Structure 1
Amino acid sequence: MHFSARISVRLRGAPVTVRYRWVADDGSRGPVRSAVFRGRGTAYRTVRDYQEFDEDTRGWQRLQILGPGRFLSSRARFDVRDCGEDDPGEPDPEPVASATLHASPTSYTGPCGNGQSFTFTGRISVTDGPATVRWRWKDSLNSGAAENTIRFSGTGPQSETVSIPWGPGASGTYWMQIEILAPNTATSERAVVSLTCT
């Protein structure tokens, strides 16, 4: 049986080495492995594991991040039956969500105080459905936006567009992101805007 998980890392120029291992419901733990991420922004990498079962069983397996920081993925549940058959089948992999984001306009210079705002437009996607995605807006002012939910009822890859007007109200450089909270964790690239009040 194949298991897969996608690791996301926020990069600021320096390479980041992520240490991880697979853990199961019976308490077993796989060997510690590592993956090196380079570049800037948010990078992703899919890691995989394979397990063989000789008898009918059920349980779960998930990925444990050991460093930097500690994190446990959601559980990938499995149910193995009829091991004597030639093709017992495998459960479908859990959907993975991701997001992209851009701003319009990206800069403004002029009088302020008349409700000037930037429009941030994003696209939230899943690799398969049905799926429920929990997400929220995240900005450089740490505004603490509430969580949102999108339900994808179809099958196969799907996406939905979201947008928000945002006016910081004072000169400066600001950014906005979309943060995915479930079924996995991920963040879009930062959409950066510049405001100059005259």
Structure 2
Amino acid sequence: MKSSPLARKAAAFGASATVLAGMVAALVASPAQAATPVATAAPAAGTAGLSAAATATKSAPKVSVSTPRASKADYEGSCPVNVTFSSKIKVAVKGKTTLAYRWLHGDGSKGKIETVKLKGHGAKYVKVSEKLSFKENVKGWEAVQVLGPRKAVSKKGYFSVSCQSPIVIEEEQGPEVSARVWASPSSYVGACTPGDKIDFTGRIKVSDPTWVKYRWVLNGKVVDYGRTKVYSSKTVGFGISPRESQRGYAQLEILGPDRTSSNRAYYKVWCKDEAPATRVSVSSLVTATNNDGCKVGAHATLSSIGRARVEYTWLVNGKAVDSDYAYFSGAGSRTVTLSDRVLAGDATKGGKITLTASGAGSTDSITQSYAACETPKPTVSVSAVSQTGQRNDMCADKRGPGVDFKATLTSTGATTVKYYWLVNGEKDGGELTREVNGSLDVTWGIGGTHNASETKGNIQLVVVSPTSVTSGNAAFSAVCPKPVAG
């Protein structure tokens, strides 16, 4: 479509200067004439062809036009936006004929004349379309005018465009988290026999109550994980039992809700009057509590100074839960693992894991504590908002109908849910609270719009806690019923 003069006229009702007009000519033969060849769209034939089509005799084929439909009849959102209008023209063909038509716009302008050549017998359908781009608010209509082989004009197809800026919900800044660690004692001199020699203590501080994920790092290697609820500050820790003189450091790394690390707590161990090295030994026992299902697992290093068959046993709180053996063809070490075990009763509150080993005439063992299980905090999800009904009693007061809505809150466990409703981007009413354990329907209703017969807009439900989630915007529309004729 040429931009002049239509572009200048389209601007009068809010369309962009560029009018994207096109025609999709889909000629579909009637069932009785399915084998008839279909003609493709042809350019305008000029004023002479138009005059001939417009002055057809009474024997000209019958023509009917459907009301144009907009791809976005009542659009609300960001602009510019493209809206496509489409209509169907039905022509009763007897032999050959030329269809000539053009689009009529609500601002009074007219589109370019288009023609399509048809042939065959029976009803032929031509689908026509036009695309317009709008960059500001507009209300208007589109119609199709047939100029030949017989004059006809469709009904007006109405549309509206409401340009809105997207709603941006800013995320709240999470709580601040810090950590500090120290070793007790920081220096040890004495016999290096089984048992804790160095204990590391860490204190986690938060600006607001929150769940904190953390891990312990010993000399650059991760040795333990944990997750705990911290209201102001909380102490966590672990210990090591060196078998030989060494020095190093421990550090507490915070993994969430923010990532940070504590200072390094340095330590030194000097083993004096050590007994002769045993042929079999166990070391580096690390435990891990899995809160998903309340399970505990562990791994450790099994060593031998020569060829040996070494049998080892895992104990949880003094009770043997697994055993196996390993062959050593010579001096060496290997990692042995205790797979996750489900805890029950008092064992869920924390305890100790022990690994014992025997072989080549020697035995050894090591024990390490494991953390208590913590119940995960329930999470909440929300369904899309649905329109459940309308109240027409307000229509008598020259107001649009009231509209009722429903959404479903779903929790993974018993919890208190705080939420509120947003109507057309504004908070409607105050913050609400419901006790939810599973799924719970919540409802909301709004009054009708003053001096209008229609109530429309968008609505969403926003959950504040225990998790932050939203249903997403849902558009709605309700119209007062027409008065019954007296």
**Common fold: TM-score over 0.5:** no
* Structure exhibiting the larger radius of gyration computed from Cα positions: 2
> What is the TM-score of this pair, normalised by structure 1?
0.44
Q: Which has the higher contact order (CA 8 A, sep 6+)?
A: 1
> What is the TM-score of this pair, normalised by structure 2?
0.20
